Structures are given as structure tokens and as C-alpha cells.
Amino acid sequence: MRALVTGAAGFIGTNFVRQTLARKREGIDRLVALDLLTYAGNYANLTGLESDPRFRFVRGDVADRDRVAALVAEEAIDVIVHCAAETHVDRSIVDGAPFLVTNVHGTLALLEAVRGRPGFRCFLHVSTDEVYGSVAEGRSTESAPLRPSSPYAASKAAADGFVFAYAATYGVPAVITRCSNNYGPYQFPEKLIPLFVTNALDGESLPLYGDGMNVRDWLHVEDHAEALWHVLGLRAAPGEVFNISAENEMPNRALTEQILRLLDRPANLVRYVADRPGHDRRYALDPGKLRATGWRPQVSFADGLARTVAWYRERRAWWEAIKSGTYRDYYDRMYSGRLAGSSAAPREPGV
């Protein structure tokens, strides 16, 4: 197997690549890591892998059609795990344009590169539960309608649409996975868990949006990586979709309390700030289809969160390097006004 992993220097890509090479997965002859190294990509995450003869890192843009087509041909790629994306909902609310380019044009460029390619085995498109939108009750199955709320989610839903279309129209062997919120090591500290852990370690405020009762469904990134390999092994029909969830639903407020407890930090670090516009109240995936094929998550949330918190506590140099420079400007832009108008008590939902 000759695999191309896009977005390999990001959070999920890094964990997927490291796990794949560390476990010496049978059948992996080549692993090409393609990443543009945007603000979210960090080449240092892949340190140490260069000595593995199966590994090659390429800096490049998934939306660059010629580059992507040439790479796929030159490396005789037969499997693609497509993780590259603009991924932060808050940034998409400020400007959706980069999300359209990377998430939609990028996916299209990759699909074009493999269309009609002899011997090509699988294009695995890593999508998200956000495409289903907010779920008031029950859990989203793979056939639930797509109702994206944020520009990010809209771009992922559009990309899913191109995957379906290339499977149906050209028979591209493409499948989609939709996972819930991931947590674990190497996550860029703009996302809830690494942001709150690193802020708490520095005695800084933890800005909870709205009333803090929005519910997310947490999946350890190692379980996600295993699930991706499991799906690859299924040889599913073109256009199949698989939800990936460990069914760990939790309101943000309860998660924040757990982080503070693990770090032994005071509750008064929490500040309730103005809500995210269009903030989905709850995500909940039904992973029954994948479970029926034998996949099971292995990491309990208590253990996974404790290990994750410990990882950031012990890797101060990793996140301090990120949380300086342009990150500081981003943080001030997104949070200084909100924190100035924050309160110690929960707000009404959506305020």
C-alpha cells in the first residue's frame, strides 16, 4: 500500500501518521505526508519520522491541482487519507473564503487526481459530525440530512457532496467518515481542550461561550486513527459513509470542570463570554453502522482526558512556541473584547 496522508502536520494527521508508522502496519510500503504548513500545521510534530524509509514529507497545497496530480502519479499512490482542511469554526465565521478554497477545491483536486487511476484503492475523506448541524434529540445516523450551521461545516458538507458525486459519476472508490470532536496530543491550542488546559496552566481565563451548556461528543484521536484503518480495511462500496463516535457526550461546562480538577486550578478562572454566532447546541453521532463491523473505541474518556492534560502539562515548549507571535494577535482579536464583557455566571443561551 502506498498512502498519501494530507494535512499530516495537523492534529489528526500527525496522530494518524505517527500511529501508523509506530505500529509498523503491515502492507504500508510508502507514506507520503502532504501539508501546506498553514498556521495550524507544525512540521515539528513529525520530527523523527524522516529516518523511516517509508516516510516522505512534501510541503504543498491540496488545492494545487497540478501539484497534487503529479505527486499521486510520481508516488504511485493507491490510498489517500484526506485530513487537510481549514478546521476552526470561529475562524470560518470571520472569513469563510479559505475554507472554500482548501476544503472544497482541495478535495476536488484530490478526487480529480485519482479519477480513473488504475489500481487506485481508496480515497478516505475525513469529514465531520458538524455537517448534520445541531441535534436536539437522538443521534445522527449516516442518512440524516445535512444542515451545516457554520461556514466551516458548509465547506465540509460541500466537500462530502463532491465525494458522493465522484463515487456515483466516475466510480471513484471513495468513502466518507464523519467523526465527533477529537481530543489528544498535538491539537492546536485554539480548540477548546488545549486552549483551556494551556490557559489554566498559565493562570489565564477560560472563556466559555454562552451558558457553557453546548454539548460535544468526545473521541480520543487514537481511537479515531484506528477507526480510519478499520474503515480502510472494510473495502466499502464507493460513496459509503461511516460515523465515528465513542458516545462521550458532555456539556462544555462539565468538561471545563474536569480540566480544572485535573490541573488543581480554581473554578474562578472560568469566564462566561459572548456566544459563538450560530453555535450548534448539541452534536451526537450514532456509530452503530461502524460498530456493526467490529470497531470499538478503546480509550475511556476519564483516562484519555487525564493523559491529554498530562501531555500538555509536560510539553510546555511545544505550545509556548505556538502561543506566541501571530497566535497572540489572533487571541486578542477573538477574545479581548469578549473577556472585557465577560461574567462569572452563565449567560442565557445564544447571548
Which residue ranges make up the site for ligand DAU (CB under 6 A)?
A: 87-89, 128-130, 180-181, 191-192, 195, 207-209, 214, 216, 252, 276, 283
Reply yes or no on whether 226 is catalytic: no
Half-sphere exposure of 200 (CA within 13 A, CB side): 28
State the amino acid at position 262 in one-letter form: L
Which of ligand DAU, ligand NAD, none does residue 41 bind to, with CB < 5 to 8 Å depending on kind? ligand NAD
DSSP string, 177-235: EEE-EEESTT--TTSHHHHHHHHHHTT--EEEETTS--EEEEEEHHHHHHHHHHHHHHT
Catalytic residue among 152, 166, 183, 312: 152
Reply yes or no on whether 132 is catalytic: no
Closest separation in Å from C-beta 346 to ligand DAU:
11
Q: Which of 200, 197, 198, 163 is nearest to 178 (CA)?
A: 163
Closest separation in Å from C-beta 177 to ligand DAU:
12
Q: Toward ligand DAU, which CB reaches closer, 51 or 326?
A: 326
Reply yes or no on whether 286 is catalytic: no
Q: Toward ligand DAU, which CB reaches closer, 20 or 128?
A: 128
Helix orientation angle between 192-201 and 301-314, rounded to the nearest 10 degrees: 50
Q: Toward ligand NAD, which CB reaches closer, 36 or 208?
A: 36
For ligand NAD, the binding residue among 33, 46, 62, 79 (CB under 6 A) is 62
Rounded to whole angstroms, what are the CA distances from 175 to 16, 133, 145, 166, 172? 17, 20, 17, 10, 9
User: For residues 323-347, b (16+ Cβ closer than 10 Å) or e, as one string?
Assistant: beeebeebbeebbeebbeebeeeeb
The window from 3-11, 139-147, 251-259, 336-344 that contacts ligand NAD (CB under 6 A) reads: 3-11
84 part of the interface to ligand NAD, by CB under 6 A: yes
In the complex, which residues of this chain contact ligand NAD (CB under 6 A)?
6-7, 9-13, 35-38, 40-41, 61-63, 83-87, 102, 106, 126, 128, 156, 179, 181-182, 188
Catalytic site positions: 129-130, 152
